[in-house]
Structure 1
Amino acid sequence: MSKRDYYEVLDVGRDATEAELKKAYRRVAMKHHPDRNPDNKESEDKFKEANEAFEVLSDPEKKARYDQYGHAGVNPQGGGGGAGDFGDIFSDIFGDIFGGSGGRGGRAGVRKGADLRYNLELDLENAVKGTTVKIRIPTAVNCGSCSGTGAKKGSSPVDCATCNGIGQVRMQQGFFSVQQTCPRCQGSGKQIKDPCNTCHGRGQVEEQKTLSVKVPAGVDEGDRIRLTGEGQAGVNGGPPGDLYVQVHMRAHKLFVRDGRDLHCEIPISFVDAALGGELEVPTLDGRVKLKIPAETQTGKLFRLRGKGVTSVRGGPAGDLLCRVVVETPVKLTRRQKEILQEFQKIGESEGQQSPKMTSWFDGVKKFVDDLRA
């Protein structure tokens, strides 16, 4: 089962403040605390999930690594997620309301490794046409020296002396009796008397690995590419998790993407806007001719059908929508100013050549007259 995004778990945005994170965590943890939901496995899992999310997002350093690499950046041990710290986290938020207890752990068995996320930034052209990129990710793999057991070669783990191999202990405070993960063995039920010299008893070592990611044509912001078996190593011989490469689009100098459609602004001179003309406009497939009719106003949209994007999910290509922006000339010469002044005089005598301006001034005049009435 893939891990949920920590921000989704607490139902907060990525820009949430420390106070907002704390409030969101309190709400989720109170709702799913084991003492309020006895023998409810779903609530128990959500309580643990909230603890894990808050532990990461409330730590600036861990949060920065999570924002960049997802679960790969904060769970080098394969998805334990700081289970041993649940009691401390919950106590910090709630004091002794529930006796400072944490989540209820289960005896560790064979488990699939955690799914990971990698944020991949793409240029528009590569996203539209498809590409292959190489990425480097931090990951945890089973230690080769001890085959993932954590124990030195020739030895093996023994039952935990605190929980007698169960992986859980029961804490009593007042009226409350809370079962929680064993603090010594972290729920595994085992202790390592003679740890491996390579992994120091963890059973896994950290590595950086390079992967080749094939990006299909037409991907968009938020799309995910799944790399099966490239997540964290499994626990106690379990299969590895998956890696999800999440696509994020870089801003483009010319185009703004909206699903299948592309938008761009095209500046034109007031002469071309008034008299009409023909322009060359860019598309992702090269330049095309665009006819500008006479008397075109700024903000006018022109649609070039089929010049947008073909989605990764199939279907026809979208359109390119070109918004015309009439540009006022600058650094005029004396002769140009004379011509424009002459043009202005002729326009005043002809009248009705600026219908919007005329209508606006008529509206202003009526508004002022109404105020005086």
Structure 2
Amino acid sequence: MRTPLMAVVKADGYGHGLVEAGRAAREGGAEWLGVASADEALALRAAGDTGRLLAWLIMPSEPAEELIAADIDVTAYTIADLEKFAAAGDALGSIPRVQLKIDTGLSRGGSSFAEWTNMVARARILEAEGAIRVTGIWSHFASSEDPDDPANESQEKVFAEALAIAADAGLRPEVRHLANSAGALLRPGARFDLVRVGIATYGIDPAPGVGGSPWPELGLVPAMTVRAELAMVKQIEAGAGVSYNHTWVAEEPTTVGVVPAGYAEGIQRSAGNRAEVWVDGARRPVRGTVCMDQVVIDLGSDEVEPGSEVVLWGTGADGEPTAQDWAEASGTIAYEVVTRIGGRMKRRHVDTEQEGADR
């Protein structure tokens, strides 16, 4: 049985473009889109999206009327949130669609379990009064990418208890959702009525290194390729230090190239001397410290011309590094690698289903 999908397009579509990622997700069959902020939700509506859309990080200082008028499902963490949404609906003469979030163990957003009974009781009263409509109950895993972490089982148990309490209070939400990308893939029992797929939407493995994972069968292909043009090529002698603080010194004569992208574009500074790029059919190591505007790469004895294409990361299909490779080189996760990219980079979107399309 197919579980409906919410494509999470927060953080500018994980660096891929908020509106473009949302449109692609809708074209691919996503029944829901999910975002964190009010601004993200309203930007999608302004761009023409009319489908079901959930926002879950509404600030206390932000008025809710515009969200409700735009037919956006909003998330309540507290009774104060419920009252705020109900008041906004009353001012508009409409019934807000509200989802309730329960903190099952992440200790981040959501009602505490101790407050949950009061929360759902108040939600039910407001619903009976026609002040709100409770459309969902949800939570979020802390460690779903690690299937052996006992926190997963614990959170599922707490979520089930929270759902039972809500049902006893008389709430009948449309959707109950807990699973993120890794949860949706690794924990079928946590799929409930909807799965929220974030990083996997963009073709990136949500649980790298997990043995026996089904990713090859799913055909996950990274959507983002980051390219630059080789700005300069030069020869250096043995003993020459490269980049700030000379964290790498050439042991023998070599050729280096300058790539015009640095931490101002979101390239991890911690990747210096550890990451690789793809130039002229081969991986080339980053040498020295990543600068604000550029990185230096080692071309060895190969003759490579200025203006040659540099792929920092891509699908990996031709041997080029992936965002996961950069994550491992930087001591972080692929989520951070792709969401940080920007600065002076120019984004281009390509429909890869078009014949001959190049990512």
Same fold (TM over 0.5): no
Which protein has the larger Cα radius of gyration, Structure 1 or Structure 2?
1
Which one scores higher on RCO, CA 8 angstroms, separation ≥ 6?
1
TM-score, length of structure 1 as denominator length:
0.28
Instruction: Judging by fraction of residues, say which structure has more strand.
Output: 1
